[in-house]
A and B are shown apart, each in its own frame.
Chain A
């Protein structure tokens, strides 16, 4: 359930493994986090408070290449994936120090999958990114960071599913799920459907759906706003965590987080702060025309990390939820989907992501 990036990536893996897959989705107007993301395949700074997330993320960044290759071969669509390395630019020494601290803590954790990174001062950043502004004090660079075209990714994934005989059913919001002896019965205003295996990848909808099969997904919306500029001649080949140039030429600027309920509108205040910072990072951006602003609701768990869970008895049902659907598309498609097909169990590494972790008192 759920035709966004997470659902489609997992469906890719299942269909590739020969499963008969039906993907249920809502209509044209739905929250659709998959339409409002930044398209980063991002590794640096992930997993500090939950080390298995670092490993899962790095595995995904590696498996992304295979996903892109298969999609190109089978659908003819190049999803413009590249891993040129990414930068987190800092506009003050305070920002640099904060990042440095986080990285040191991470480095000191035993047995954690480390990612390669460099701390760069202004001159070194300027050497690598000549268009950087004077206000950039430093940056954290990791060669593992990359980006893709999320719209082409969606199109290509859905194309692949069609080719593999998977069925995509829009306007199929589900009202109720009943567990039966050999599977699940899903009902909606469109009728009903029965399935042996059920995967809930419905983003914010998981909060309502998971309890129907005895699971939980305590996710809430976290609004992120985006600025999109007109197309400009290519000059930015590396993604920044808050700025990237798409393969079509437009510049995407983020990154904000607001608890604003389910209102996905944009506001000049937040946009102004983001625009201001972007201009300080790359002064040449200031004259570009903004042609669109956008906002989307991240699917946010209480600690910000993904939720993966499964039923332990009866027919298999799984809940999957994250707000890094693009980054994790690699591992969802190449590892998770096939695992759910072959073993009907979540891979061992994902036990750390059970929502039961929210019931344990936080360690101070």
Chain B
């Protein structure tokens, strides 16, 4: 593996560019390199691992029981990549991916992509025959009053602080939300010495009943043993309070307490840190901005990219691997990463279709095996309506532009807003630097509620590059074709 520290060190063209060095990206890069494809793995962090295996090669938390065996599985993936001839560019942002054109604006043959990279304030365009998006997942927004106060973070954030830097929250810490990661984190933090004073479980009561029919499938899955252990342990050692609702975080300039309703009673806990989590959803921003179609996953209750049996998106040449294509966990992400690498090798003529199918068959079988049991998890931990469509009108929905629930409801009602793009035009929701990552799902829910239609009918934000902000100077340094100049200087 060649670790590239300067943007100049990246080659002009590759067979394959992979975005994201989490399990899917690492596995894809390794497999692709082994199959003879010239490959670049680009990632915005300073080391491999993505989020789930964050800091896997450098974590200061060496006592393995703290982070658990699942985490340490990532080390094998990172080490395997090091044995290949892959180019790896850390701290590098991929901000665009367009079909490559010549100076007159025509698409080139054979087709390829022009990919915008940015590092340390400098930008470059490189070419690749194929693109793999492995940008993973992010946490579902958790809009409750006070969620924007300093001292409130996601469960994932606390995990990152622990994994990458060996830090735990100092004072009285409350975790709130639902989902396996919440309990996992509480367990990890407790082992690491944090003062967890409450775990407020917002899993709606009725969910277990809906999920029960799916339990047999779950029991046969790879999650069952691990999940059962975790659940049992947490019940005994963590201060879990179930069936919690009406969460509100209060404080003047920082979080000072969290109140909630339980068994018909209002309660409040004083605390110093609140960690929120209600599941993860695919990070669809890059796929969206690059023109890939999205579809609604009713089981997961989120928009996901549309992919075929080979995980190819609706844009020919762009494949999507890992949780970015649908949530199925780290092990599955690695398997899917290998699948897209095999598919890419076949498309680029490095292996024939027979070989491709032979290599992919066990991988696809494994992916299916790992997907088993997801339905149970997704159904059990589906957020309740109050956490998807907040009742309190003062709740901030768009954190960047500080737009609240009340404002959104009023405009949607008064102006018959049809979807999030129209709402963006009226209220600026989604116009901030996060480009709808924090507010998109909530906005869609509120519009669906007002219109009285199923969520997918409302649609989703239409995004464009840059996928992450880059400077005007960087954009100005991009090549300017004759056609481009003519379009501007008339």
Are A and B in direct contact (Cβ within 8 Å)? Answer: yes
Query: Across the interface, which residues of A come within 8 angstroms of B418, CB to CB?
Result: 27-28, 170-171
Q: Kindly report which residue of chain A lies nearest to residue B103, judged by CB atoms.
A: A269
Q: Would you call A288 and B488 a contact (CB within 8 A)?
A: no
Q: In chain B, what residue has the closest Cβ to A152? A: B426
User: Knowing that A227-B472, A269-B484 are A-B contacts, what are 15 other residue pairs whose CB atoms are under 8 Å apart, sorted by A's residue number?
Assistant: A151-B425, A155-B411, A169-B416, A170-B418, A256-B487, A256-B488, A265-B464, A270-B487, A273-B480, A273-B488, A277-B488, A279-B473, A286-B471, A292-B431, A293-B466
CB distance from B46 to the nearest CB of A (A): 20
Partner of B421, one of A29, A154, A279: A29
Please, how many residues of chain B have a CB less than 8 angstroms from a CB on the other chain? Answer: 49
- The answer to whether A269 touches B421 (Cβ under 8 A) is no
> Which residues on the B side are within 8 Å of A276 (C-beta)?
476, 480
Task: Tell whether, in the assembled complex, residue B472 and residue A278 are in contact, meaning their CB atoms are under 8 Å apart.
Answer: yes
Assess the B428–A272 pair: CB atoms within 8 A. no
| A154 B483 Cβ-Cβ under 8 A | no
Query: Which residue on chain A has the smallest CB distance to residue B125?
Result: A268
Contacts of B459 in A (CB 8 A): 28-29
CB of B96 closer than 8 Å to a CB of A: yes
Q: Is the CB of A294 within 8 A of B473?
A: no
- How many angstroms from the CA of A28 to the CA of B418 in the assembled complex? 5
A266 at the interface (CB under 8 A from B): yes
Quick one: given A257-B490, A293-B464, are A272 and B479 in contact (CB under 8 Å)?
yes
Contact between chains at A290 and B487 (CB < 8 Å): no
B236 at interface by CB-CB < 8 Å: no
Interface residues on A, range: 35 or more
Chain A, 244-294, CB within 8 A of any chain B CB: 248, 253, 255-258, 265-279, 285-294
A286-B472 contact, Cβ under 8 Å, with A28-B419, A265-B291: yes
Q: Confirm or deny: B470 has a beta carbon within 8 angstroms of a beta carbon on chain A.
A: yes
- Within the complex, the shortest CB–CB distance from A38 to chain B, in Å, comes to 14
Closest CB in chain A relative to B478 CB, distance in Å: 4
Is the pair A266, B465 in contact by a Cβ cutoff of 8 Å? yes
Question: Is B358 located at the chain interface by the 8 A CB criterion?
Answer: no
Instruction: Given the known inter-chain contacts A28-B458, A272-B479, A291-B435, please indicate yes or no for A155 contacting B464, CB distance below 8 A.
Output: no
Q: Does B243 interact with chain A (Cβ within 8 Å)? A: no
* Minimum CB distance partner of B290 in chain A: A265
Interface assignment of B475: CB less than 8 Å from any CB of chain A: yes
Once A268-B116, A268-B125 are accepted as A-B contacts, the answer to whether A289 and B471 lie under 8 Å apart by CB is yes
Please determine whether A29 and B462 come into contact, CB atoms closer than 8 angstroms: yes
Could you tell me the distance in whole angstroms from the C-beta of B292 to the nearest C-beta in chain A? 13
CB-based contact A257/B475 at 8 Å: no
Q: Please name all residues of chain A whose beta carbon is closer than 8 Å to the beta carbon of B469 when the two chains form the complex.
A: 230, 289-291
Q: Mark B338-378, 1 if CB is under 8 A from A, else 0.
A: 00000000000000000000000000000000000000000
Given A290-B475, A291-B432, also A272-B425 (CB < 8 A): no
Q: Do the beta carbons of A269 and B480 come within 8 Å of each other?
A: yes
User: Which A residues are in CB contact (< 8 Å) with B64?
Assistant: none
Query: Which B residues between 164 and 200 are near A, CB-CB below 8 angstroms?
Result: none
Chain B residues numbered 446-476 whose CB sits less than 8 Å from any CB in chain A? 458-459, 462, 464-466, 469-473, 475-476
- Bound Cα distance from A204 to B419, whole angstroms: 21
State A164–B480 Cα separation when bound (angstroms).
Answer: 50
| B476 touching A286, Cβ below 8 Å | yes
Shortest CB–CB separation between residue A92 and chain B, in angstroms?
Answer: 10
In Å, the complex CA distance between A27 and B470 comes to 32
Cβ of B232 within 8 Å of any chain A Cβ, yes or no, is no
Instruction: Return chain A residues, CB-CB under 8 Å to B470.
Output: 289-290
B114 at interface, CB cutoff 8 A: yes
- The answer to whether A270 and B488 touch across the interface, beta carbons within 8 angstroms, is yes
**CA–CA, A269 to B105, complex, Å?**
10
Q: Which residues of B contact A158 (CB under 8 A)?
A: 414-415
21 residue pairs of the A-B complex, CB under 8 angstroms, read: A28-B421, A159-B415, A162-B415, A168-B415, A170-B418, A253-B472, A257-B487, A265-B98, A268-B116, A268-B125, A268-B475, A275-B475, A278-B476, A279-B472, A288-B471, A289-B469, A289-B471, A289-B472, A290-B466, A290-B475, A293-B464
